[in-house]
Structure 1
Amino acid sequence: MENNLSKLDEVIHALNSRFFEREAEIEAILIAVLARQHILMIGPAGTAKSALVVELSKMVDGAKYFQWLLTRFSTPEELFGPLSLKDLEHGVYKRNTKTKMPEADLAFLDEIFKANSAILNSLLTILNERLFYNDGSPVEVPLMSVIGASNEYPEEGEGLEALFDRFLLRFEVDYIEDDSNFISMMKNEGDAEQPPVMTMEDLAGLQELTDRIDIREDVYTAISKIRKDLQDEGIRPSDRRFKQSLSLLQARALLQKRETVIEDDLIILENSLWETPEQKDAVSAIVRKHARDETVRRLDSIRTEAQEVYEQVKQDRSEEFGLEASQKLKSLEADLKKMNTVDTDRKSEVEALLHRVNAMQQEMAQNSMYDDDSTTGPSGIFYRM
């Protein structure tokens, strides 16, 4: 099983190398696949939602992948296959599902909220029960996860509440923010590496291992406290959603190479327990209060402080502030390196933030010009790290 975990690490590394500022989304998609749950990504076109899922599907040898762009005019034939004319001659209303969604292991449905009433009921049944009714007979489908995508949230009164509820994880995706990452994306950096491959058998083994991850008693207690705090705010996720979310916690623990779910894994629930965009901030604050220990709060603090320094150095180009900014980022980098050696449970999160701080330092250095005998740029700002 260690070999399977090693392959999973290779997949994560390859995806993070190619898709910049998508670490959280990549983790979430893999959590959804390991937990056999569905994930929704909401954001503007051109944010690599479909490209990310396509790349992941290529890394799972033997996986049947289905992708479709829905419109208000989409028909059941497009998703579930055409009627078999031969069977229809005998009065049998049966669809030929070959290469269609009922035979897929992994599916990506773009503009998911364009689903119309003609396909909605069958789609809901596949998502929730993993069943497709063909000629009235239920057929089990091999579907592990559906990744849904949309440019916008569904509007009230459209009858899509049940479809929205089927996605246990929900993420908002935006354009690349960091300038250096944007340039790396433009240069296709990270595309040259040979992509790793795992088999469907490898993935099935990891899913079975996920099911066996133990959940500590204090985690159940923390979930109960989260539920109570959410109710106090008028936010009431269903009992079913809380129950299903346990699989997300187990999958996150596996990604962190732990055999037990700890309170830190609860952080994934900030992307699961809200029902409307207006609830997101309240849910995030409540979940983080119960999920984050002192070490993780320090990571949040470092992330905020580094971003503030990065933004301020664009505004204040004085030599004095340049020296101060340089020292602050160096100090934060040192803190992260120390944390990386002592806190192995959060190694991947620490390394991701360390990479971000280093990228900030490199961009500051690359965007400055130096005199032959000077460490300051033309405006006096000290950039050399």
Structure 2
Amino acid sequence: ILNSLLTLLNARRYTHGTTTVNVPLISLFAASNEVPTDEALSALFDRFLLRVRCDYLDSYHFRGLLQKGIDIETRQMAEAGDPRGVKARKVTSAKELMSLQQRFGDFMRFSEDFLATFKGLVFQIRSEGIGLSDRRVVKLLKMFAASAIFDGRKEVNDADFFVLRHVWNTPEQEELLQEIVGPVLDRWYDAHPDQARIGATPTSLQDLLEELRIIRETLSGSEVLSDMQLFSQLRNLGDIKAALQRMPDNPAAQRMIGEVDKLLEAMFASSRFV
């Protein structure tokens, strides 16, 4: 099975007995409950250029999670009786992707400065003990180009290096990659303050304000909170503050940071945290 899958990924062919079928594969996505550690899987794991860990959403995204969950469940129940099965929501068509693939060479142009920065990042990543094969390094150029395309650009720039945060081999390497790639991204966005960060989870100021209101009411209520509940609210306030700090040009967000700080000071000043 592994050899068949590797052939499928490398050559876009599937062989069964004496029959070989060409497979029009564009991209392959996989999901796993754990990162493979078996040496026999290393070649296959290396074929997956990017690794993304799905974690719990922050508290201020919780209402949105529930609403989207309700919408999906309602749609699935409504379509359950359809003999064609539940319809998948189309993000883009295979035809559009194949058309883009045929023109992809037009986007595979990189400046010397970009390549020099990429080289520095690759060798810094490797020097920290994070394995990054030459094969993946070359393939990552396509990821940079794809990032630019889906951001509406014809040329790559340093903002596209955000994909390097997802080249880890173990989850423990995520933080280290952020420390390596983060400064490059920060410099680019500091020089281009009008640009929104690629790959950032969209955050609604209204959602943050609503979550802050709920926390304030919870802390000021008559109910005595347990230590676990208090620490949960501390974590939520920290998440909210981190999200607000990603909006330096929004006056309302900066005012809300002051409110968060006041709540944090009040909590730490209480005898529960002495």
What is the TM-score when the length of structure 2 is the normalising length?
0.64
Which consecutive unaligned segments of at least 5 residues does structure 1 have? 1-118, 299-338, 370-375
- Contact map agreement 2:8 2:14 (CA 8 A) in 1: yes
* Structure 1 Cα separation of the partners of residues 16 and 175 of structure 2: 42
Please point out which of 334, 346, 349 is paired with 2:196: 346
Q: CA RMSD in A?
A: 3.4
Please point out which of 283, 287, 292 is paired with 2:186: 292
Q: CA deviation at 1:142?
A: 1.0
* Structure 2 Cα separation of the partners of residues 161 and 244 of structure 1: 17
* Structure 1 Cα separation of the partners of residues 215 and 121 of structure 2: 45
* Structure 2 Cα separation of the partners of residues 351 and 284 of structure 1: 16
- Contact map agreement 1:211 1:250 (CA 8 A) in 2: no
Partner of 1:260: 155
- Contact map agreement 1:256 1:346 (CA 8 A) in 2: no
Structure 2 counterpart of 1:217, which letter? E
- Contact map agreement 2:189 2:197 (CA 8 A) in 1: no
1:359 aligned onto 2:207: yes
* Structure 1 Cα separation of the partners of residues 177 and 197 of structure 2: 26
Please point out which of 177, 195, 199 is paired with 1:283: 177
1:233 aligned onto 2:132: no
* 1:87-126 equivalent positions in 2, closer than 5 A: 119-126=1-8
Q: Structure 1 pair 186/203, CA: closer, same or farther in 2 (3 Å)?
A: same
- Per-residue CA deviations over 1:46-103 (Å, capped at 9, x if unaligned) read xxxxxxxxxxxxxxxxxxxxxxxxxxxxxxxxxxxxxxxxxxxxxxxxxxxxxxxxxx
- Contact map agreement 2:164 2:181 (CA 8 A) in 1: yes
* Structure 1 Cα separation of the partners of residues 29 and 169 of structure 2: 18
SS of match in other structure, 1:139: strand
Please point out which of 158, 175, 182 is paired with 2:62: 182
Structure 1 counterpart of 2:10, which letter? N
SS of match in other structure, 2:30: strand
* Structure 2 Cα separation of the partners of residues 197 and 257 of structure 1: 16
SS of match in other structure, 1:132: strand
Structure 2 counterpart of 1:235, which letter? I
* Structure 2 Cα separation of the partners of residues 348 and 120 of structure 1: 34
Please point out which of 133, 139, 147 is paired with 2:15: 133
1:155 aligned onto 2:37: yes
Partner of 2:45: 164
* 1:298-313 equivalent positions in 2, closer than 5 A: none
- Contact map agreement 1:154 1:160 (CA 8 A) in 2: yes
Structure 2 counterpart of 1:288, which letter? G
1:201 aligned onto 2:95: yes
Q: Structure 1 pair 292/347, CA: closer, same or farther in 2 (3 Å)?
A: closer
Partner of 1:249: 144
User: Higher helix proportion, which one?
Assistant: 2
* Structure 1 Cα separation of the partners of residues 165 and 91 of structure 2: 31
Structure 2 counterpart of 1:153, which letter? V
Q: Structure 1 pair 297/148, CA: closer, same or farther in 2 (3 Å)?
A: farther
Q: CA deviation at 1:152?
A: 0.9
Which consecutive unaligned segments of at least 5 residues does structure 2 have? 76-86, 223-258, 261-274
SS of match in other structure, 1:146: coil
Q: Structure 1 pair 138/155, CA: closer, same or farther in 2 (3 Å)?
A: same
- Per-residue CA deviations over 1:194-234 (Å, capped at 9, x if unaligned) read 95664332232233444421322211111111122223323
- Contact map agreement 2:14 2:23 (CA 8 A) in 1: yes
Structure 2 counterpart of 1:268, which letter? V
What is the TM-score when the length of structure 1 is the normalising length?
0.47
- Contact map agreement 1:218 1:263 (CA 8 A) in 2: no
* Structure 2 Cα separation of the partners of residues 351 and 297 of structure 1: 21
- Per-residue CA deviations over 1:314-347 (Å, capped at 9, x if unaligned) read xxxxxxxxxxxxxxxxxxxxxxxxx5xxx2x437
